[in-house]
Amino acid sequence: MALVESQLHVDVPLAEAWVASSVPIVGHLEPVQTEPWASVYRATLAAGIVWFKACAPHRAFEVPLTASLSARWPTTVAEVLAYDVDRRWLLTADAGEPFRELGNPPERWLDVLPAYARLQIGEIDHAADHLDVGVPDLRLAQLPERYDELLAAELPLAPSETAAVAALGQRFSDLCAELESHGIGATVQHDDLHMNNVYVKDGALRVLDWGDASISHPFFSLFETFRFLTEMNRLSPGDPWFGRLRDAYLEPWGPGHLETFDLALRIAGLAHAIAWLDQRDALPVRDRPDFDMGFGGILRVALRTASDTLSS
């Protein structure tokens, strides 16, 4: 996805003073990444670095969500050193290097996915708390109505592709109800679980950047994991790695979830597209053409993964 000009203003001197009140930084905050939804800065310590993140108003939930997850799952989520909910500021310890730098090795996901699944299982009991702090509600019961919003939007697709999205509407609604009947509770769903957001340092693997998260069906998470392995690692759809990773993820959930996982993954792309629509709506109109380049790609992948099941 192309970056667009940020609409988020950060008072850097004030932020720098806030960071310095928590850790002994050397020098000044260094801008690293500026996007419409967040700005990220690096701060140097005498030994090591820390990371400051300022979230946009529509991503304010990322601060309390990350803080609560870090407190309960300190070996799975980045260590939160300080946070300010009102100013939407987050300070985290360095988590090392992303899987991207390692070539996104599928074997490393065998370690990440069970730990992530255990986090999701544990967070089922906290789903209502996350909704209370503004984590988006994409529970299965909400998705058919949200799908109508997707259909009403001006999608960056060819007319035939837009018609295909419309044709899936009722079947999508029916299968959301079927998936809910399988009894897996709604929980935190990262929705951006790929090689850029899982980090390794001294053997510790951590999931970062929870700004795309929602409360939804947990199995939707692997849509992005698998998409990146397909597009970046060039794994074919039938590659045995997908089955191995699915099984590693499902192991903490217990036996008997293969059918549920298959159904969830087939409709996960459309749920992911609904979440992207929310991101798009938060952008100024002039910035949407750049965003739509990535959005169109997501919609096409969602159509491919959904059509065989939903149209049958």
Q: Is the pLDDT of residue 1 over 70?
A: no
Residue 151 near residue 169 (C-beta atoms within 8 A) = yes
> Which pLDDT band holds residue 35 (cuts at 50, 70, 90)?
confident
pLDDT tens-digit series, residues 186-222: 999 999 999 999 999 999 999 999 999 999 999 999 9
- Asked if residue 252 lies in contact with residue 114, where contact means CB atoms within 8 angstroms, the answer is yes
Tell me, letter by letter, the H, E, C secondary structure of 79-146: CEEEEECCCCEEEEECCCEEHHHHCCCHHHHHHHHHHHHHHHHHHHHHHHHHHHCCCCECCCCCHHHH
- In DSSP terms, which residues pair with 127 in a beta bridge? none
pTM of the model: 0.92
Q: What is the pLDDT of residues 228-240, one digit of tens each?
A: 999 999 999 899 9
What pLDDT is attached to residue 217? 98
| Spatial distance between the Cα atoms of 147 and 269, rounded to a whole number of angstroms | 12
Rounded CA separation 311/105 (Å): 34
Please state, in angstroms and rounded to a whole number, the distance separating the CA atoms of residues 291 and 268. 20
Digit-coded pLDDT (tens) for 247-263:
999 999 999 999 999 99
| pLDDT one-digit tens code per residue, 110-124 | 999 999 999 999 999
Q: Higher-confidence residue: 1 or 202?
A: 202
pLDDT tens digit sequence for 94-111 = 999 999 999 999 999 999
Q: What value does the mean pLDDT take over residues 43-55?
A: 95
Cα 158-161-166 angle, rounded to 5 deg: 125
Closest CA to 306 of 262, 275, 274: 262
Round to whole Å and give the CA distance between 44 and 102: 24
At 172, is the pLDDT very low, low, confident or very high (cuts 50, 70, 90)? very high
The helices-and-strands tally (H runs, E runs) of the chain is 12, 10
pLDDT tens digit sequence for 128-167:
999 999 999 999 999 999 999 999 998 999 999 999 999 9
Question: What whole-number distance in Å separates Cα of residue 124 and Cα of residue 109?
Answer: 22
Task: Calculate the average pLDDT of the chain.
Answer: 93
What local confidence, expressed as pLDDT, does residue 308 receive? 61
64-68, 153-157, 233-237, 287-291 — which is least confidently predicted? Answer: 287-291
| The pLDDT value given to residue 5 | 39
Instruction: Evaluate if residue 311 carries a pLDDT over 50.
Output: no
Average pLDDT of the residues in 175-185: 96
Q: Cα 107 from chain centroid?
A: 21
- The pLDDT value recorded for residue 4 is 34
Percent of the chain with pLDDT over 70: 96
What average pLDDT score do residues 71-100 get? 97
48 contact partners, CB below 8 Å, separation of at least 6:
94
pLDDT above 90 as % of the chain: 85
The answer to whether residues 116 and 221 touch, using CB atoms and an 8 Å cutoff, is: yes
Q: Taking residues 27-45, what's their average pLDDT?
A: 92
At residue 281, does pLDDT exceed 70? yes
